[in-house]
Structure 1
Amino acid sequence: MGNKIQHSLLGHPRGLSVLFMTEMWERFSYYGMRALLILYLIDHFGLGERSAYLVYGTYTSLVYVTPLIGGVLADRWLGYRKAIQAGAVLVTTGHGLLALDDGLALGGDILFYAALAFIVVGTGFVKANVAAFVGALYDRDDPRREAGFTLYYIGINIGAALGAIVAGWLGQNWGWAYGFGAAGIGMALGFLQFLLGTRHFGGLGEPPRDAGLRRSMIGLSVESWIYIGALAAVALLYVMMRQHGAVEYLLIVAAVAVIIYILWFSITALDGPARRDMAIVTAMIAISVLFWALYEQAGSSLNLFTERQIDRVVLGMTIPASMFQALNSIYIILLAPFFAALWIWLGRRRLEPSTGTKFGLGLIQLGAGFLVLVLGIEVSGDGKVPLIFILLLYLLHTTGELCLVPTGIAAVTRLSAPRLVCFMVGCWAFANAAGSFVAGLIASATAGGEGGMANIAIVYSKIGWMAVAIGLVLILGAGIVRWRGWSSGAEVPAGV
């Protein structure tokens, strides 16, 4: 999709700053809305906990399914630039409809589900392609690559933190429409700065030369049909949002199709080393499903737990529960530079943990966060859980995330076959989709019932110990593989 550009800013390609800001504003919009969604479903629509968790899980899973399609469309036809621009328009439209849904109270839940459908389709165009675009800024073996993704990840979390704080505060104090409206403005700003910054990409991100976007099909260009198809997808997803069971079947069918396609491509188009790299990437993506299933409790069961069970009074003021969704991102902003420097420092001394070890460390810390909260439930008795325990939970979840996620994304873009980079980044997002759907089931297990806080403690204890155990197995397995020298060369061990 063009040639690498040589201009740099602070040691990185200038295009990184444009993509940094684009993703920052897109995540501002997504996480601002996400911080309010479960509370909006219960308080505005009056849904029960289980029903609200089901809607939330359906939405968050679909958000991570559509990047698969968006990645393919960019790889084959649109290129990164056009795909990101189309997605930004759709996402902005969706947030605008959400603001109208509360502000005007039109048509029952019609605007609400239409808004979610626009956001889901738009995110499909944006999410995978911004990440893949970051990877395209660097050569395959560029030592700055992982550090560049860590900086990009900081941009994501600046946007997520600001979104949760601004949209959360406006939504819970001024009205839902103000919170959702702020999210829409954020995406519009991201779109504008992306258009203004395209000169820094050089020839990168343009449609493939053989895309044939202007070729006529039934009186319209191929590009026009793609955009019409996107609107048709909005209509389809509007219907699916109301048929939650259909999403479960969609995920199963999509997972089987993805596995078959990767196997077919690996067997027919790749040689031994490249085939092995694809196997490593596929294994990492499968492991990440468990991580996301537990991590995505943040916006659902943990969000509602914070609203109802955490003592949120600080200096005489009660902090809105939605604003606690910013904690994870704030921690990442503070800690990501340390982790980026740590991996470089260890790498220079040939002490950097392998990807498998980092994945294991990530799961252990994720599980430990839930176990800390269980301890808080036990020591609080019948009263509110002290604030320190939710702060510690998000801290441990953050350090676990910093071990697993940037490393995983960088490895996916580095080890995937060049013709499938966008597709495999979409598969990484699809793992988040599967995990988000499972997360809804886990959240439902904590809902209501006679057990109350005791039931929540049991569920969190089980998933916490499970994550710790699997993390230990991964670390042990990675150590055995490296010790036996199963992988050779400089690149492959880092992907084990």
Structure 2
Amino acid sequence: MAHYSKEEIVNSVPQKGFFGHPKGLFTLFFTEFWERFSYYGMRAILLFYMYYEVSKGGLGLDEGTAASIMAIYGALVYMSGIIGGWIADRLLGGTSTVFYGGVLIMFGHIALSLPGSLTAFFISMALIIIGTGLLKPNVSNVVGDLYAPEDYRRDSGFSIFYMGINLGAFLSPLIVGTVGQEFNFHAGFAIAAVGMFFGLLTFMVTKKKYLGLAGKNVPNPLTKVERGKTYKRAGIGAAIVIAFFAITIPTGIMTINRLTYLVSFLGLSIPTAYFIIMYRNKKTTKNEKSRLLAYIPLFVASMMFWSIQEQGSIILAQYADQRVDLSFSGLGIQSSWFQSLNPLFIIFLAPVFAWLWIRLKRKQPSTPQKFAFGLMFAGISFLVLVIPALTNGDNLVNPLWLVLSFFIVVIGELLLSPVGLSATTKLAPAAFASQTMSLWFLSNAAGQAMNAQLVKLYNINTEIAYFGILGGVSILLGVILFLFSPKISKLMKGVL
């Protein structure tokens, strides 16, 4: 397999043409726009689809089970990034892996659009989980390939890319959510499938001209002997997993509750194993090992942040459906529409942050400091929900409280998420480029794995303690990270 230097890759990409950024950012911007349109449109109605009564077009599950499944699903989506990173690093490269992931996602949404049993629901979830794992980490890694390591546009480019993600995420709950809740859930899922089709079309039509060699490298390819062994082991492993669930689910051994504990365990143990394997690998240099050590506290911070942020589509979705007054100023509001708030605020604020990092250049806060501030804002977003719980009791809450909570967490997200994507591409060991991006998304998986247990604790009686404790813990971790940020920056060996 051909191996291209970083200079060759950057030179193959037209460096101007998309808001002062490489033209390849156009391709990846709109690919992710449509992929996120499909994903967040589906997520906007998925919880309601699970716990609404069968007579209302739902599956009729109880609310606690539905919330846990949402958390499990979110965790597994990001855990599957391990597979996508490994395939890109050792078999196909980033761009090919992105395409195959999009195909699986599209078929998963098509399966959801067809009325079926709970078994059919889980099959569709499996397709979307694997497909997202192939696409999500690799499309972000290809963005990193567009820029030279010292290019100051990098953080700005990731912020613009992040805005594309959230533009799709903003529109989809309004469209898919309205169709799903007003007309039919399956029709909503069908619209999500069409969105993924447009994403694939954009990618295929523009990638040759705009991406150049970006995403073509296979940094650590398998030898012919290794390929044979790998395919054999993968086949045996898949057979064991299928047999395990085929036996344990019908017999009642594997229940939803036990599955949540299994996913929570995997969500914490897999990234731990990943750090150890990469750190001890002979291909990881001394400086790369130091950067991996610096990456650990950033990973923990990200895990806590996503634990709070991802509850926007679980606990806050349930909160919107059951605790918020959906008749505001004489207008009827769909509970799914609140899922558009997070991306809406990002659309407006992402350009501000992109401009800010370019304006400040070397005077901007360090990466660990940005993470610390992000954690603090996440904690505050939960603390503000304690106020209506104290003042309103069991009465319906003014929707502006929920709007404020989403707004505050977005500030934290823009301080942490696009910066984390950028930092991952810079801190990653060369032999584990895509897999380190998968590790970044595992921080989200770990946060949602924790949520699989945490969401069980939420109800109207525990509301004050739930939002207060989680918000306070996040702020405390942010303060600790800020105090240790100089030491972490030193371990990063010159990476800003």
Q: TM-score of the superposition, structure 2-length normalised?
A: 0.88
Q: Is the 8 A contact 1:60 1:433 kept in 2?
A: yes
Q: How far does the alpha carbon of each residue in 1:388-434 deviate from its partner, in whole angstroms, 9 at most, with x for none?
A: 11110000000010111111110110121122111111001111111
* 1:314 and 2:328 correspond: yes
CA–CA distance in 1 between the matches of 2:76 and 2:109?
A: 16
Matched residue pairs, number? 472
Cα distance in 2 between the residues matched to 1:162 and 1:228: 40
Counterpart position of 1:155: 164
1:181 aligned residue:
190
**Residue 112 of structure 1: aligned partner:** 121
Closer/same/farther in 2, CA of residues 244 and 438 from structure 1, 3 Å limit: closer
Q: Which of 277, 281, 288 is equivalent to 2:291?
A: 277
- Which residue pairs with 1:468 in the alignment? 475
User: CA offset at residue 312 of structure 1?
Assistant: 2.1
Alignment partner, residue 360 of structure 2 = 346
8 A contact 2:275–2:292 mirrored in 1:
no
Q: Which amino acid aligns with 2:387?
A: L
Q: Partners of 2:172 and 2:194 in 1: how far apart? A: 11
Contact 1:59 1:241 in 2 (8 A): no
Extract unaligned runs of 5+ from structure 1: none
Deviation at 1:357, TM superposition (A): 1.3
Secondary structure of 1:327's partner?
helix
- For 1:228 and 1:174, the matched residues in 2 are separated by 42
Following TM superposition, by how much is the alpha carbon of 1:81 offset from its aligned partner in structure 2, in angstroms?
1.9
Shift in Å at residue 262 of structure 1?
2.2
Distance in 2 between residues matched to 1:336 and 1:133, nearest whole Å? 20
In structure 2, distance between residues paired with 1:346 and 1:473:
25
RMSD of equivalent CA atoms:
2.8
Counterpart residue identity of residue 383, structure 1? N
1:79 deviates by 1.0
- In structure 2, the residue matched to 1:33 is 42
Secondary structure class of the residue paired with 1:12: coil
Determine what percentage of the aligned residue pairs are the same residue: 32
- The residue that corresponds to 1:416 in the other structure is 428
The answer as to whether partners of 1:117 and 1:237 remain within 8 angstroms in 2 is no
Q: Could you say which residue in structure 1 is the equivalent of 2:271? A: 255
Partner of 1:436: 448
2:110 alignment partner in structure 1: 96
Find the counterpart in structure 2 of residue 201 from structure 1: 211
Matched residue SS, 2:114? helix
Structure 2 residue 362 is matched with structure 1 residue 362:
no
1:264 matched to 2:273: no
- Cα 1:210–1:129 shift into 2, 3 Å: closer
Give SS of 2:394's match: coil
Structure 1: distance between partners of 2:105 and 2:48: 21
Distance 1:478 1:216 in 2: 41
Structure 2 residue aligned with 1:377: 389
Q: Is the 8 A contact 1:68 1:427 kept in 2?
A: yes
Show the 5 A alignment for 1:66-81: 66-81=80-95
> TM-score, length-normalised on structure 1?
0.88
Is the contact made by 1:77 and 1:211 (CA closer than 8 Å) also made in structure 2? yes
Task: Give CA-to-partner distance per residue, 1:263-304, whole Å, 9 cap, x none.
Answer: 212xx3334322211211233122211111111111111100
C-alpha displacement of 1:229: 9.7
Equivalent residue for 1:293?
307
CA distance in 2, matches of 1:230, 1:86: 21
1:437-452 pair list within 5 angstroms = 437-447=449-459, 452=460
Residue 36 of structure 1: how far off its partner (Å)? 1.0
Conserved in 2, the CA contact under 8 Å of 1:77 and 1:213? no
Counterpart pick for 1:135 among 134, 141, 144: 144
Deviation of residue 381 (structure 1)? 3.3
Paired with 1:320 and 1:233, the residues of 2 have a C-alpha distance of 43
Distance 1:171 1:225, change over 3 A: farther
Deviations 1:87-141 (A, max 9, x none): 111101111111103xxxx3x2121000000000000110010000101111112
* Cα distance in 2 for residues equivalent to 1:319 and 1:95: 26
> Which amino acid is 1:202 matched to?
G
Q: Assess, with a 3 A threshold, how the Cα gap between structure 1 residues 463 and 181 changes in structure 2: closer, same or farther.
A: same
Whether 2:469 is the aligned partner of 1:455: answer: no
Change (3 A) 1:217 1:269: closer
Using the TM superposition, name which of 406-415 and 244-253 deviates more: 244-253
Paired residues for 1:383-422 under 5 Å: 383-422=395-434
